[in-house]
Amino acid sequence: MTGGAIGSLIAQHFHLTAAERKALLVAGATAGMTAVFGTPVAAVLLAVELLLFELRPRSLLPVAVACAVAGFTRPLLMDAGPLFPLQTAVPGPLAMLSCVIAGVLCGALSASLSLSLYKVEDWFGKLPLHWMWWPAIGGLAVGIGGYLQPRALGVGYDVIGDLLHNHLALGVVLALLAVKAVIWVIALGSGTSGGVLAPLLMMGAGLGVVLSHVLPGNDPMLWPLVCMAATLGGVMRAPLTATIFAFGLTHDSNALLPLLTTSAVAYGFTVLTMRRSILTEKIARRGYHIYREYGIDPLERHSVEEVMTRDVRSIDAALPVTRALADYFGEGQAHRAFPVLRNGAVIGVADRAMLAARGTRDPIATVGDACADAPLYYALPGENCRAVATRLARTGWSACRW
């Protein structure tokens, strides 16, 4: 059972709110990632960049605590230390140009994999076969690929380690890269259940081994590592997660700057060449748009106390509607709605449309009569403007009515 599934079960059991359920689900998923790979910081970044799209205490704290518990517990269950220990040389100035070239190529690989996956999925949709037979075709392709290149099968952590240390011949790596890409795209395109993380690591590291024979500027073992991270960051559109994830897997501090550079270039390439990532394309095809760019909402930066009117002009409930329309909603009025008071207490809010509608039906009606059936909504000084805007939208009170 995955960490995310455990978090979902707990959320359902305790009847939590939607935001609490989402945070708990993500906390379980990132804790599972930490337990498997030993990368707690990368798991927290994954939550911010891919799963939550926010950096708030309500979500960051449960995710960070879950990852911390998983990180401290991990040595009790498996070997401590990085999954793929590696130490490369300090990069020289020439390595920057090589990182840019590697980033562009990794971005091209990322875009090709993403576009190919959904192209294959479209091809399966056109087959004159029932969809339940598609995974069988995908499984056949995986079997043929495994026969041609057995290293392409399975999770492949041992293969990733060999690629990072340049233990495989160039011809073997080229065959592995080609076969793994083909069977992964066909398998996922057919609807077969499969992972994304380990295959991307393997394919990215394979590309890095190929580039290590032509790129100058540093230790040849650097390029499988940076290409592994850049391919992951390009496909998933999460460059910071990919950078810190690769560092957590190897603990190679000398590679941090090349990792960041290559991952950023690959990310930029996919953003410029693709409208959506591999993770959001299917959702977009169902008619939903996922906004993945993290930014500060201007409405959340201001409280009601900062923007509210302190010199409040109110309407007496006993005032006739016709008189209120003439006195409060004539030319030059600064407000579109006013609070209505009866004996010093607020009983409602009146705007032009409400009073005009009541005055048409009953010319002798008072403002209090017009507000009698309207619900009273209010905002507290300590609330932020985003909460108020959400309440306005939910209740049907648009800003123009204020």
For position 1, what pLDDT does the model report? 46
pLDDT at position 6 is 56
What average pLDDT score do residues 377-381 get?
83
Question: What pLDDT score does 402 carry?
Answer: 42
Residue whose pair of structure tokens reads 């259940």 in the numeric block: 193
The whole-number pLDDT of residue 175 equals 92
- Read off the pLDDT band of 401 (50, 70, 90): very low
**pLDDT grade, residue 9 (50/70/90)?**
low
CA-to-CA dists, residue 291 to 53, 280, 284, 286, angstroms: 9, 9, 11, 15
Residue identified by tokens 């090589």 is 98
Does the pLDDT value for residue 400 go beyond 60? no
Tokens of 108: 């091209």
Which of 74-78, 103-107, 285-289, 293-297 has the highest average model confidence (pLDDT)? 103-107
pLDDT digits (tens, 9 = 90+) for 38-90: 899 999 998 888 888 777 888 889 999 999 999 999 988 887 788 888 888 88
Give the mean pLDDT of 254-280: 88
Torsion, CA 150, CA 156, CA 158, CA 162, rounded to 10: 80
Residue 126 has pLDDT above 50, yes or no: yes
Higher pLDDT, 129 or 292: 129
Span 302-319, mean pLDDT? 85
Backbone dihedral angles phi then psi of residue 376, each to the nearest 5 degrees: -105, 120
pTM: 0.71
Rg (alpha carbons) of the chain, rounded to whole number: 29
User: Kind of pairing, strands 315-316 and 337-342?
Assistant: parallel
- Please work out, in degrees rounded to the nearest 5, the angle formed at the alpha carbon of residue 134 by the alpha carbons of 130 and 135: 135
How far apart, in Å, are the Cα atoms of 85 and each of 227, 232, 252, 318, 398? 17, 19, 8, 80, 58
Torsion sign (Cα): 255, 258, 262, 264: positive
Encoding tokens for residue 26?
């993500």
pLDDT in tens, 75-84: 888 877 888 8
pLDDT higher than threshold 90 for residue 108: yes
> What's residue 190's pLDDT?
85
Mean pLDDT of 162-176: 90
Dihedral, CA of residue 42, residue 45, residue 47 and residue 52, to nearest 10 = -170
pLDDT tens-digit readout, 200-225: 899 999 999 999 888 876 678 899 99
